[in-house]
Amino acid sequence: MSSEKLDALTILVVDDEPAWVGALGAVLGRAGHRIVAAYDGEEALRRFRSDRVDAVLLDLAMPGLDGAEVCRQMRALSDVPILIVSGERDRSVPAELLDLGADDYVRKGAPSSELLARIRAVVRRHGAGSQGKARGAGGAVGSDRSGWQLDLRRHEISWQNTPVPATAIEFRLLRLLVERLGELVPHADLLAAGWPTENDPDPLWLKPHLARLREKLRLAGAPVPVAVRAVGYRLEA
């Protein structure tokens, strides 16, 4: 277990059981973090818009808007890390949540050390992306790459001057594809680019992030990465 410490975080805890919110608050408080509590989906979205939070712990089964819909709407607004904390036992649930934009999943009742470790991991991954990785003069890949513009300092990417609203992970994936325009980029290279702080990123993480990225590219009128089965992806020049 990593002993790495994070600065104090503000974490939005969403659950319709006050006792569970209190229990999570106690665990997070002992670790030096502050919570913002919400007890249903509508309140969660209001607090998400009004409070500056560093991460979200989100339950699935709630009255009104369920956790899946809350996750989808939050991800449309921001790339703040979202960690699902749920009692669901269906094995298909984690994959469905990744499709909606969740960063990780932990079951209720897991040891507090595991919960805190997963929070550290998702916040660390997010931080590595949001800090950017500018290299060289200007920190940008110019518009001479067949219509793509990447600004590494501002962490922005555009296609023919149309911005693509990418999350930190999506930006890193697309940056690699643009830098290797026309080449086949293996899954391993994309995983290393998308999750640079993970020693062994799960290959299952790649598909949902690329699926969301491809939809955003379509909306921007941009080329989309083409999957080469069991090998990788190619962005055509």
Tell me the domain boundaries of the chain.
Answer: 10-130, 137-234
What is the model's pLDDT at position 165? 87
Q: At residue 84, does pLDDT exceed 60?
A: yes
With CA atoms as reference, report the closest residue to 225 among 199, 193, 202, 195. Answer: 193
What is the model's pLDDT at position 218? 93
What is the model's pLDDT at position 42? 93
pLDDT: which is higher, 10 or 139: 10
* Backbone conformation region of residue 71, classed left if phi is above 0, alpha if psi is from -120 to 50, else beta: alpha
> Residue 55: what are its φ and ψ, rounded to 5°?
-165, 165
Please tell me the CATH code under which domain 137-234 is placed.
Answer: 1.10.10.10
Burial category of 151 from C-beta neighbours within 10 Å (exposed 0-12, middle 13-18, buried 19 and up): middle
Weakest-pLDDT range from 112-116, 144-148, 183-187: 144-148
What is the model's pLDDT at position 51? 87
Question: pLDDT digits over 147-161, tens only?
Answer: 888 776 566 788 988
Q: At residue 3, does pLDDT exceed 80?
A: no
Torsion of CA 24, 30, 36, 37, to 10 degrees: 30
Q: At residue 14, does pLDDT exceed 90?
A: yes
Averaged over 153-171, what is the pLDDT? 83
Asked if CATH classification 3.40.50.2300 holds for the domain at 10-130, the reply, yes or no, is yes
Instruction: Please enumerate in sequence order all residues whose Cβ is within 8 A of that of 52, keeping only pairs 6 or more positions apart, or say none.
Output: 10
> Residue 163: what are its φ and ψ, rounded to 5°?
-65, 140
How many of the other CB atoms lie within 10 Å of CB of 42? Answer: 14
This prediction's pTM: 0.56
Weakest-pLDDT range from 76-90, 137-151, 193-207: 137-151
Distance CA 193, CA 25 (A): 34
* Backbone conformation region of residue 164, classed left if phi is above 0, alpha if psi is from -120 to 50, else beta: beta
What is the model's pLDDT at position 94? 63
